[in-house]
Chains A and B, each alone.
Chain A
Protein backbone atom coordinates (compact mmCIF):
# COMPACT_ATOMS: atom_id res chain seq x y z
CA UNK A 1 0.00 0.00 0.00
CA UNK A 2 1.23 3.48 -0.84
CA UNK A 3 1.12 5.66 2.27
CA UNK A 4 0.65 8.76 0.10
CA UNK A 5 -2.89 7.62 -0.86
CA UNK A 6 -3.94 8.51 2.69
CA UNK A 7 -2.25 11.72 3.81
CA UNK A 8 -0.97 12.98 0.49
CA UNK A 9 2.51 13.04 -1.04
CA UNK A 10 5.41 12.15 1.30
CA UNK A 11 7.45 15.35 1.61
CA UNK A 12 10.35 13.85 3.57
CA UNK A 13 11.53 11.34 6.16
CA UNK A 14 13.38 11.81 9.45
CA UNK A 15 15.13 8.57 10.48
CA UNK A 16 15.69 8.40 14.26
CA UNK A 17 17.38 5.02 14.59
CA UNK A 18 14.76 2.37 13.79
CA UNK A 19 11.95 4.94 14.18
CA UNK A 20 11.36 6.76 10.92
CA UNK A 21 9.10 9.81 10.88
CA UNK A 22 7.41 10.43 7.54
CA UNK A 23 6.06 13.85 6.67
CA UNK A 24 2.90 14.15 4.59
CA UNK A 25 0.78 17.33 4.28
CA UNK A 26 -1.73 15.65 6.59
CA UNK A 27 0.81 14.95 9.37
CA UNK A 28 2.40 18.38 9.06
CA UNK A 29 -0.93 20.23 9.15
CA UNK A 30 -2.12 18.33 12.22
CA UNK A 31 1.26 18.74 13.96
CA UNK A 32 1.34 22.48 13.24
CA UNK A 33 -2.32 22.84 14.28
CA UNK A 34 -1.66 21.17 17.65
CA UNK A 35 1.44 23.33 18.27
CA UNK A 36 -0.35 26.60 17.36
CA UNK A 37 -3.19 25.82 19.76
CA UNK A 38 -0.66 24.86 22.47
CA UNK A 39 1.17 28.19 22.04
CA UNK A 40 -2.17 30.00 22.26
CA UNK A 41 -3.04 28.17 25.50
CA UNK A 42 0.35 29.03 27.00
CA UNK A 43 -0.18 32.77 26.53
CA UNK A 44 -3.91 33.11 27.30
CA UNK A 45 -5.81 34.17 30.40
CA UNK A 46 -8.98 32.32 31.40
CA UNK A 47 -12.49 33.66 31.03
CA UNK A 48 -14.84 34.62 33.87
CA UNK A 49 -18.09 32.69 33.70
CA UNK A 50 -21.14 34.76 34.51
CA UNK A 51 -24.08 32.89 36.03
CA UNK A 52 -27.41 34.19 37.31
CA UNK A 53 -27.76 34.07 41.09
CA UNK A 54 -30.94 32.43 42.41
CA UNK A 55 -33.16 34.58 44.60
CA UNK A 56 -31.63 37.91 43.58
CA UNK A 57 -30.86 39.99 40.50
CA UNK A 58 -27.08 39.70 41.01
CA UNK A 59 -24.63 37.81 38.85
CA UNK A 60 -22.32 35.12 40.15
CA UNK A 61 -18.79 35.27 38.69
CA UNK A 62 -16.86 31.99 38.50
CA UNK A 63 -13.10 32.48 38.05
CA UNK A 64 -10.05 30.23 37.92
CA UNK A 65 -7.73 30.82 40.94
CA UNK A 66 -4.00 31.46 40.42
CA UNK A 67 -2.74 28.12 41.80
CA UNK A 68 -5.35 26.21 39.85
CA UNK A 69 -4.51 28.25 36.73
CA UNK A 70 -0.81 27.38 36.95
CA UNK A 71 -1.22 23.63 37.28
CA UNK A 72 -3.97 23.44 34.65
CA UNK A 73 -1.95 25.49 32.19
CA UNK A 74 1.07 23.22 32.70
CA UNK A 75 -1.01 20.08 32.11
CA UNK A 76 -2.72 21.65 29.08
CA UNK A 77 0.68 22.41 27.52
CA UNK A 78 1.85 18.83 28.19
CA UNK A 79 -1.38 17.59 26.56
CA UNK A 80 -0.80 19.85 23.53
CA UNK A 81 2.76 18.60 23.10
CA UNK A 82 1.63 14.97 23.44
CA UNK A 83 -1.07 15.60 20.81
CA UNK A 84 1.50 17.15 18.46
CA UNK A 85 3.73 14.11 19.04
CA UNK A 86 0.88 11.73 18.25
CA UNK A 87 0.28 13.58 14.97
CA UNK A 88 3.86 13.33 13.70
CA UNK A 89 5.17 10.02 15.06
CA UNK A 90 5.93 7.20 12.64
CA UNK A 91 5.95 4.51 15.32
CA UNK A 92 2.86 2.70 16.60
CA UNK A 93 4.17 2.26 20.15
CA UNK A 94 5.06 5.95 20.43
CA UNK A 95 1.55 6.76 19.22
CA UNK A 96 -0.01 4.62 21.96
CA UNK A 97 2.30 6.21 24.56
CA UNK A 98 1.26 9.70 23.46
CA UNK A 99 -2.42 8.69 23.56
CA UNK A 100 -2.03 7.25 27.09
CA UNK A 101 -0.31 10.48 28.20
CA UNK A 102 -3.18 12.51 26.71
CA UNK A 103 -5.66 10.41 28.72
CA UNK A 104 -3.74 11.03 31.97
CA UNK A 105 -3.33 14.79 31.56
CA UNK A 106 -6.95 15.21 30.41
CA UNK A 107 -8.04 13.94 33.84
CA UNK A 108 -5.47 16.21 35.50
CA UNK A 109 -6.70 19.32 33.68
CA UNK A 110 -10.16 19.06 35.26
CA UNK A 111 -9.29 17.33 38.54
CA UNK A 112 -8.06 20.63 40.05
CA UNK A 113 -11.56 22.10 39.64
CA UNK A 114 -13.71 22.30 42.77
CA UNK A 115 -17.09 21.47 41.17
CA UNK A 116 -18.81 18.21 42.11
CA UNK A 117 -20.40 17.52 38.68
CA UNK A 118 -17.13 18.17 36.88
CA UNK A 119 -15.15 15.97 39.28
CA UNK A 120 -17.71 13.17 38.91
CA UNK A 121 -17.38 13.36 35.12
CA UNK A 122 -13.57 13.37 35.39
CA UNK A 123 -13.70 10.34 37.71
CA UNK A 124 -15.92 8.40 35.30
CA UNK A 125 -13.77 9.39 32.33
CA UNK A 126 -10.68 8.41 34.34
CA UNK A 127 -12.08 4.93 34.93
CA UNK A 128 -12.75 4.47 31.20
CA UNK A 129 -9.31 5.83 30.26
CA UNK A 130 -7.57 3.46 32.68
CA UNK A 131 -9.55 0.46 31.46
CA UNK A 132 -8.83 1.48 27.84
CA UNK A 133 -5.07 1.46 28.37
CA UNK A 134 -5.06 -2.36 28.37
CA UNK A 135 -6.55 -2.81 24.85
CA UNK A 136 -4.51 0.18 23.65
CA UNK A 137 -1.12 -1.29 24.55
CA UNK A 138 -2.35 -4.85 23.93
CA UNK A 139 -3.26 -3.90 20.36
CA UNK A 140 0.18 -2.42 19.71
CA UNK A 141 1.84 -5.49 21.27
CA UNK A 142 -0.19 -7.83 19.04
CA UNK A 143 0.78 -5.82 15.94
CA UNK A 144 4.44 -6.23 16.92
CA UNK A 145 3.97 -9.93 17.66
CA UNK A 146 2.28 -10.63 14.34
CA UNK A 147 4.41 -8.44 12.05
CA UNK A 148 7.77 -8.00 13.82
CA UNK A 149 7.66 -4.22 13.50
CA UNK A 150 5.95 -1.16 14.93
CA UNK A 151 7.17 1.23 12.24
CA UNK A 152 4.19 2.57 10.28
CA UNK A 153 6.32 2.88 7.15
CA UNK A 154 7.25 -0.83 7.44
CA UNK A 155 3.65 -1.80 8.20
CA UNK A 156 2.48 0.01 5.06
CA UNK A 157 4.77 -2.18 2.91
CA UNK A 158 3.35 -5.50 4.20
CA UNK A 159 1.49 -7.39 1.48
CA UNK A 160 -1.50 -8.63 3.48
CA UNK A 161 -3.31 -8.41 6.81
CA UNK A 162 -3.46 -11.48 9.07
CA UNK A 163 -6.47 -12.21 11.34
CA UNK A 164 -4.27 -11.35 14.36
CA UNK A 165 -3.67 -7.88 12.88
CA UNK A 166 -7.42 -7.37 12.46
CA UNK A 167 -7.87 -8.34 16.12
CA UNK A 168 -5.04 -6.02 17.15
CA UNK A 169 -6.65 -3.17 15.21
CA UNK A 170 -9.95 -3.78 16.98
CA UNK A 171 -8.17 -3.60 20.35
CA UNK A 172 -6.36 -0.42 19.27
CA UNK A 173 -9.64 1.18 18.21
CA UNK A 174 -11.24 0.31 21.55
CA UNK A 175 -8.23 1.66 23.42
CA UNK A 176 -8.14 4.93 21.47
CA UNK A 177 -11.91 5.43 21.81
CA UNK A 178 -11.67 4.97 25.59
CA UNK A 179 -8.54 7.06 26.11
CA UNK A 180 -9.81 9.98 24.06
CA UNK A 181 -13.36 9.63 25.36
CA UNK A 182 -15.03 9.85 21.95
CA UNK A 183 -18.42 8.32 21.15
CA UNK A 184 -19.85 6.29 22.86
CA UNK A 185 -17.92 7.65 25.88
CA UNK A 186 -18.45 11.31 25.02
CA UNK A 187 -21.55 11.73 27.18
CA UNK A 188 -19.33 11.30 30.24
CA UNK A 189 -16.65 13.61 28.97
CA UNK A 190 -19.00 16.43 27.89
CA UNK A 191 -19.82 17.21 31.54
CA UNK A 192 -16.15 18.06 32.07
CA UNK A 193 -16.53 20.96 29.65
CA UNK A 194 -18.83 22.87 32.02
CA UNK A 195 -15.87 24.06 34.06
CA UNK A 196 -14.35 27.54 33.47
CA UNK A 197 -10.90 27.71 31.84
CA UNK A 198 -11.73 27.75 28.14
CA UNK A 199 -8.10 27.53 26.89
CA UNK A 200 -7.53 24.38 28.98
CA UNK A 201 -10.69 22.57 28.02
CA UNK A 202 -9.89 23.36 24.38
CA UNK A 203 -6.96 20.98 24.55
CA UNK A 204 -9.16 18.17 25.92
CA UNK A 205 -11.41 18.46 22.87
CA UNK A 206 -8.54 19.11 20.46
CA UNK A 207 -6.56 16.06 21.57
CA UNK A 208 -9.59 13.75 21.26
CA UNK A 209 -10.56 14.82 17.75
CA UNK A 210 -7.03 15.00 16.33
CA UNK A 211 -6.08 11.60 17.77
CA UNK A 212 -9.20 10.05 16.23
CA UNK A 213 -8.34 11.51 12.81
CA UNK A 214 -4.75 10.20 13.08
CA UNK A 215 -6.04 6.83 14.31
CA UNK A 216 -8.06 6.48 11.09
CA UNK A 217 -4.84 6.88 9.09
CA UNK A 218 -2.97 4.37 11.28
CA UNK A 219 -5.74 1.76 11.22
CA UNK A 220 -5.96 2.01 7.42
CA UNK A 221 -2.16 1.54 7.24
CA UNK A 222 -2.33 -1.63 9.38
CA UNK A 223 -5.40 -3.06 7.65
CA UNK A 224 -5.23 -3.49 3.93
CA UNK A 225 -8.70 -3.99 2.55
CA UNK A 226 -7.43 -4.34 -1.02
Chain B
Protein backbone atom coordinates (compact mmCIF):
# COMPACT_ATOMS: atom_id res chain seq x y z
CA UNK B 1 0.00 0.00 0.00
CA UNK B 2 1.09 3.58 -0.62
CA UNK B 3 3.00 4.97 2.38
CA UNK B 4 0.75 8.00 2.79
CA UNK B 5 -2.35 5.78 2.64
CA UNK B 6 -0.82 3.47 5.28
CA UNK B 7 -0.13 6.44 7.57
CA UNK B 8 -3.64 7.86 7.14
CA UNK B 9 -5.23 4.46 7.73
CA UNK B 10 -3.20 3.87 10.89
CA UNK B 11 -3.94 7.35 12.25
CA UNK B 12 -7.66 6.81 11.58
CA UNK B 13 -7.60 3.42 13.32
CA UNK B 14 -5.69 4.91 16.27
CA UNK B 15 -8.20 7.75 16.64
CA UNK B 16 -11.34 5.61 16.29
CA UNK B 17 -10.14 2.76 18.47
CA UNK B 18 -8.66 5.09 21.09
CA UNK B 19 -11.95 7.02 21.30
CA UNK B 20 -14.07 3.89 21.59
CA UNK B 21 -11.78 2.42 24.25
CA UNK B 22 -12.13 5.65 26.25
CA UNK B 23 -15.91 5.39 25.87
CA UNK B 24 -15.82 1.79 27.03
CA UNK B 25 -13.78 2.79 30.06
CA UNK B 26 -16.36 5.41 31.07
CA UNK B 27 -19.17 2.89 30.61
CA UNK B 28 -17.48 0.27 32.79
CA UNK B 29 -16.60 2.85 35.44
CA UNK B 30 -20.22 4.03 35.49
CA UNK B 31 -21.60 0.49 35.85
CA UNK B 32 -19.21 -0.23 38.74
CA UNK B 33 -20.46 2.97 40.40
CA UNK B 34 -24.12 1.89 39.84
CA UNK B 35 -24.77 4.52 37.13
CA UNK B 36 -26.03 3.85 33.60
CA UNK B 37 -23.13 5.85 32.11
CA UNK B 38 -22.82 7.45 28.66
CA UNK B 39 -22.93 5.44 25.40
CA UNK B 40 -19.64 3.83 24.40
CA UNK B 41 -19.30 6.14 21.39
CA UNK B 42 -19.72 9.23 23.61
CA UNK B 43 -16.03 10.19 23.57
CA UNK B 44 -15.95 9.94 19.77
CA UNK B 45 -19.12 12.05 19.41
CA UNK B 46 -17.77 14.52 21.93
CA UNK B 47 -14.55 14.92 19.90
CA UNK B 48 -16.39 15.41 16.61
CA UNK B 49 -18.82 17.87 18.23
CA UNK B 50 -15.98 20.26 19.10
CA UNK B 51 -15.10 20.64 15.41
CA UNK B 52 -18.48 22.20 14.65
CA UNK B 53 -18.59 24.35 17.78
CA UNK B 54 -17.48 27.97 17.80
CA UNK B 55 -13.80 28.46 18.62
CA UNK B 56 -13.05 31.27 21.03
CA UNK B 57 -9.73 32.34 22.47
CA UNK B 58 -9.14 33.94 25.90
CA UNK B 59 -7.92 37.55 25.67
CA UNK B 60 -5.23 36.65 28.22
CA UNK B 61 -3.73 33.86 26.06
CA UNK B 62 -0.16 33.91 24.71
CA UNK B 63 -0.78 34.12 20.97
CA UNK B 64 0.08 32.38 18.65
CA UNK B 65 1.68 30.01 21.13
CA UNK B 66 -1.69 29.05 22.67
CA UNK B 67 -3.10 27.92 19.29
CA UNK B 68 0.11 26.29 18.03
CA UNK B 69 0.67 24.21 21.14
CA UNK B 70 -2.72 22.43 20.91
CA UNK B 71 -2.21 21.78 17.18
CA UNK B 72 1.30 20.47 17.86
CA UNK B 73 0.00 17.92 20.33
CA UNK B 74 -1.97 16.40 17.48
CA UNK B 75 1.09 16.43 15.17
CA UNK B 76 3.23 14.80 17.87
CA UNK B 77 0.89 11.82 18.30
CA UNK B 78 0.49 11.41 14.53
CA UNK B 79 4.32 11.18 14.48
CA UNK B 80 4.06 8.49 17.15
CA UNK B 81 1.77 6.44 14.88
CA UNK B 82 4.36 6.77 12.09
CA UNK B 83 7.22 5.71 14.40
CA UNK B 84 5.18 2.84 15.87
CA UNK B 85 2.73 0.81 13.76
CA UNK B 86 3.84 2.23 10.39
CA UNK B 87 7.68 2.23 10.51
CA UNK B 88 8.30 0.11 13.64
CA UNK B 89 11.21 2.45 14.39
CA UNK B 90 13.15 3.22 17.56
CA UNK B 91 11.61 3.11 21.03
CA UNK B 92 14.00 5.92 21.95
CA UNK B 93 12.27 8.09 19.36
CA UNK B 94 8.93 7.16 20.94
CA UNK B 95 10.39 8.28 24.28
CA UNK B 96 11.32 11.60 22.63
CA UNK B 97 7.75 11.96 21.36
CA UNK B 98 6.42 11.27 24.86
CA UNK B 99 8.78 13.94 26.26
CA UNK B 100 7.41 16.47 23.75
CA UNK B 101 3.88 15.42 24.77
CA UNK B 102 4.69 16.26 28.40
CA UNK B 103 5.99 19.67 27.34
CA UNK B 104 2.86 20.41 25.32
CA UNK B 105 0.61 19.23 28.19
CA UNK B 106 2.52 21.59 30.46
CA UNK B 107 2.31 24.61 28.19
CA UNK B 108 -1.25 24.13 26.98
CA UNK B 109 -2.13 24.89 30.60
CA UNK B 110 0.13 27.85 31.20
CA UNK B 111 -0.40 29.61 27.84
CA UNK B 112 -4.08 30.40 28.49
CA UNK B 113 -3.48 32.61 31.54
CA UNK B 114 -6.09 30.68 33.53
CA UNK B 115 -5.13 29.86 37.15
CA UNK B 116 -6.50 26.32 36.66
CA UNK B 117 -4.33 25.82 33.60
CA UNK B 118 -1.37 27.21 35.52
CA UNK B 119 -1.89 24.75 38.39
CA UNK B 120 -2.15 21.95 35.86
CA UNK B 121 1.08 23.20 34.31
CA UNK B 122 2.96 23.03 37.62
CA UNK B 123 1.49 19.57 38.27
CA UNK B 124 2.63 18.47 34.79
CA UNK B 125 6.18 19.44 35.77
CA UNK B 126 5.88 17.37 38.94
CA UNK B 127 4.36 14.42 37.10
CA UNK B 128 7.16 14.51 34.53
CA UNK B 129 9.54 13.85 37.42
CA UNK B 130 7.70 10.56 38.03
CA UNK B 131 6.89 9.57 34.45
CA UNK B 132 10.43 10.02 33.13
CA UNK B 133 11.86 7.42 35.58
CA UNK B 134 8.98 5.11 34.58
CA UNK B 135 10.12 5.44 31.00
CA UNK B 136 13.45 3.95 32.12
CA UNK B 137 11.61 0.75 31.20
CA UNK B 138 13.07 1.35 27.72
CA UNK B 139 16.59 0.89 29.07
CA UNK B 140 15.59 -2.40 30.68
CA UNK B 141 14.13 -3.57 27.36
CA UNK B 142 17.38 -2.54 25.66
CA UNK B 143 19.50 -4.39 28.22
CA UNK B 144 17.41 -7.51 27.65
CA UNK B 145 17.11 -7.43 23.85
CA UNK B 146 20.22 -5.45 22.78
CA UNK B 147 18.09 -3.16 20.61
CA UNK B 148 15.67 -0.26 20.79
CA UNK B 149 14.22 -0.86 17.33
CA UNK B 150 10.63 -2.12 17.62
CA UNK B 151 10.85 -4.53 14.67
CA UNK B 152 13.98 -6.12 16.21
CA UNK B 153 12.28 -6.38 19.63
CA UNK B 154 9.38 -8.22 17.93
CA UNK B 155 11.85 -10.59 16.24
CA UNK B 156 13.61 -11.18 19.59
CA UNK B 157 10.32 -12.16 21.19
CA UNK B 158 9.42 -14.42 18.28
CA UNK B 159 12.63 -16.35 18.99
CA UNK B 160 12.79 -16.12 22.81
CA UNK B 161 9.20 -15.74 23.97
CA UNK B 162 7.35 -12.64 25.27
CA UNK B 163 9.33 -10.16 27.35
CA UNK B 164 6.44 -10.12 29.83
CA UNK B 165 7.81 -13.33 31.32
CA UNK B 166 11.49 -12.30 31.37
CA UNK B 167 11.13 -8.70 32.63
CA UNK B 168 7.69 -8.66 34.35
CA UNK B 169 8.55 -5.72 36.63
CA UNK B 170 9.33 -3.59 33.58
CA UNK B 171 5.87 -4.46 32.25
CA UNK B 172 4.35 -3.33 35.57
CA UNK B 173 6.27 -0.03 35.29
CA UNK B 174 4.93 0.57 31.80
CA UNK B 175 1.41 -0.31 32.91
CA UNK B 176 1.62 2.32 35.69
CA UNK B 177 2.65 4.83 33.02
CA UNK B 178 -0.37 3.83 30.91
CA UNK B 179 -2.61 4.10 33.96
CA UNK B 180 -1.38 7.64 34.62
CA UNK B 181 -2.63 8.66 31.15
CA UNK B 182 -6.14 7.22 31.64
CA UNK B 183 -8.93 9.70 32.46
CA UNK B 184 -10.02 9.64 36.13
CA UNK B 185 -6.92 7.62 37.03
CA UNK B 186 -5.43 7.92 40.55
CA UNK B 187 -2.39 9.54 38.90
CA UNK B 188 -4.27 11.94 36.57
CA UNK B 189 -3.28 14.99 38.63
CA UNK B 190 -2.95 17.31 35.61
CA UNK B 191 -6.67 16.90 34.89
CA UNK B 192 -8.02 16.53 38.43
CA UNK B 193 -11.53 17.90 38.89
CA UNK B 194 -10.24 20.12 41.70
CA UNK B 195 -8.68 22.22 38.90
CA UNK B 196 -11.77 21.98 36.61
CA UNK B 197 -10.31 20.31 33.48
CA UNK B 198 -6.66 21.14 34.12
CA UNK B 199 -4.76 22.24 31.04
CA UNK B 200 -7.89 21.82 28.88
CA UNK B 201 -9.96 24.29 30.92
CA UNK B 202 -9.56 27.22 28.52
CA UNK B 203 -9.55 25.31 25.22
CA UNK B 204 -12.76 25.48 23.19
CA UNK B 205 -13.95 24.47 19.73
CA UNK B 206 -11.34 23.22 17.28
CA UNK B 207 -8.50 23.42 19.81
CA UNK B 208 -10.38 21.19 22.26
CA UNK B 209 -11.09 18.85 19.34
CA UNK B 210 -7.34 18.64 18.64
CA UNK B 211 -6.62 17.89 22.30
CA UNK B 212 -9.26 15.13 22.36
CA UNK B 213 -8.00 13.55 19.12
CA UNK B 214 -4.50 13.57 20.59
CA UNK B 215 -5.71 11.91 23.80
CA UNK B 216 -7.38 9.12 21.85
CA UNK B 217 -4.33 8.50 19.64
CA UNK B 218 -2.04 8.68 22.70
CA UNK B 219 -4.11 6.04 24.50
CA UNK B 220 -4.05 3.72 21.47
CA UNK B 221 -0.30 4.23 21.02
CA UNK B 222 0.59 3.55 24.65
CA UNK B 223 -1.44 0.31 24.55
CA UNK B 224 0.11 -0.60 21.18
CA UNK B 225 3.65 -0.11 22.47
CA UNK B 226 2.90 -2.08 25.65
CA UNK B 227 1.45 -5.04 23.74
CA UNK B 228 4.19 -4.94 21.09
CA UNK B 229 7.19 -4.80 23.40
CA UNK B 230 5.89 -7.21 26.06
CA UNK B 231 3.78 -9.71 24.10
CA UNK B 232 5.73 -9.92 20.84
CA UNK B 233 4.28 -10.58 17.42
CA UNK B 234 0.50 -10.20 17.64
CA UNK B 235 -2.19 -10.30 14.96
CA UNK B 236 -5.07 -7.85 14.62
CA UNK B 237 -7.23 -9.91 17.00
CA UNK B 238 -4.37 -10.13 19.51
CA UNK B 239 -4.04 -6.35 19.57
CA UNK B 240 -7.82 -5.87 19.85
CA UNK B 241 -8.20 -8.32 22.73
CA UNK B 242 -5.11 -6.93 24.46
CA UNK B 243 -6.25 -3.31 24.18
CA UNK B 244 -9.72 -4.24 25.36
CA UNK B 245 -8.33 -6.14 28.37
CA UNK B 246 -5.99 -3.31 29.36
CA UNK B 247 -8.75 -0.70 29.01
CA UNK B 248 -11.14 -2.80 31.14
CA UNK B 249 -8.44 -3.28 33.78
CA UNK B 250 -7.71 0.46 33.95
CA UNK B 251 -11.46 1.17 34.15
CA UNK B 252 -11.73 -1.12 37.20
CA UNK B 253 -8.75 0.56 38.87
CA UNK B 254 -10.02 4.07 38.08
CA UNK B 255 -13.56 3.33 39.25
CA UNK B 256 -12.44 2.03 42.62
CA UNK B 257 -9.52 4.35 43.38
CA UNK B 258 -9.75 8.05 44.25
CA UNK B 259 -7.41 10.51 42.58
CA UNK B 260 -4.30 10.87 44.71
CA UNK B 261 -3.00 14.25 45.77
CA UNK B 262 -0.03 15.42 43.65
CA UNK B 263 2.69 14.52 46.17
CA UNK B 264 1.29 11.03 46.81
CA UNK B 265 0.78 10.44 43.10
CA UNK B 266 4.43 11.25 42.36
CA UNK B 267 5.75 9.21 45.28
CA UNK B 268 3.69 6.14 44.32
CA UNK B 269 4.87 6.35 40.70
CA UNK B 270 8.50 6.89 41.71
CA UNK B 271 8.25 3.89 44.08
CA UNK B 272 6.97 1.73 41.21
CA UNK B 273 9.82 3.04 39.03
CA UNK B 274 12.43 2.34 41.74
CA UNK B 275 11.18 -1.21 42.37
CA UNK B 276 10.83 -1.83 38.63
CA UNK B 277 14.31 -0.66 37.65
CA UNK B 278 16.29 -2.35 40.41
CA UNK B 279 14.05 -5.43 40.53
CA UNK B 280 14.38 -5.96 36.78
CA UNK B 281 18.18 -5.59 36.88
CA UNK B 282 18.36 -8.09 39.76
CA UNK B 283 16.10 -10.52 37.85
CA UNK B 284 18.29 -10.19 34.75
CA UNK B 285 21.45 -10.84 36.78
CA UNK B 286 19.84 -13.82 38.55
CA UNK B 287 18.56 -15.55 35.39
Residues of A within 8 A of B (CB): 4-8, 24-26, 29-30, 33, 36-37, 40-41, 43-52, 61, 182-183, 186-187, 189-190, 193-194, 196, 198-199, 201-202, 205-206, 209-210, 212-213, 216-217, 220, 225-226
Contacts and interface: CB of A to CB of B under 8 A. Distances in A.
B220 to A, nearest CB: 20
A7 B90 contact: yes
A102 to B, nearest CB: 14
Nearest to A191: B122
B195 interface: no
Given A26-B92, A209-B99, A5 B125 contact: no
A205 B128 CA distance: 9
Given A45-B62, A209-B102, A25 B114 contact: no
Contact of B128 (A8, A49, A209, A217): A209
B113 A209 contact: no
Q: What 6 A-B pairs come out closest when comparing CB atoms? A: A44-B65, A47-B62, A186-B129, A209-B99, A47-B113, A198-B110
B112 A47 contact: yes
B270 A40 contact: no
A226 B144 CA distance: 9
Interface in B117-145: 118, 121-122, 125-126, 128-130, 132-133, 138-139, 142-143
A74 to B, nearest CB: 17
Interface residues of B, number: 52
Given A26-B92, A216-B139, A202 B63 contact: no
Interface string B77-113: 0010001000001101101110110110011001111
A226 B31 CA distance: 50
Given A49-B115, A209-B132, A226-B146, A7 B93 contact: yes
A218 to B, nearest CB: 11
Contacts of A43: 64
Given A198-B65, A206-B103, A209-B99, A8 B125 contact: no
Given A7-B90, A8-B90, A193-B122, A213 B96 contact: yes
Contact of A202 (B106, B138, B142): B106
Nearest to A37: B103
Contact of A49 (B60, B122, B152): B60
Contacts of B10: none
B62 A193 contact: no
A88 B147 CA distance: 21
Contacts of A36: 72
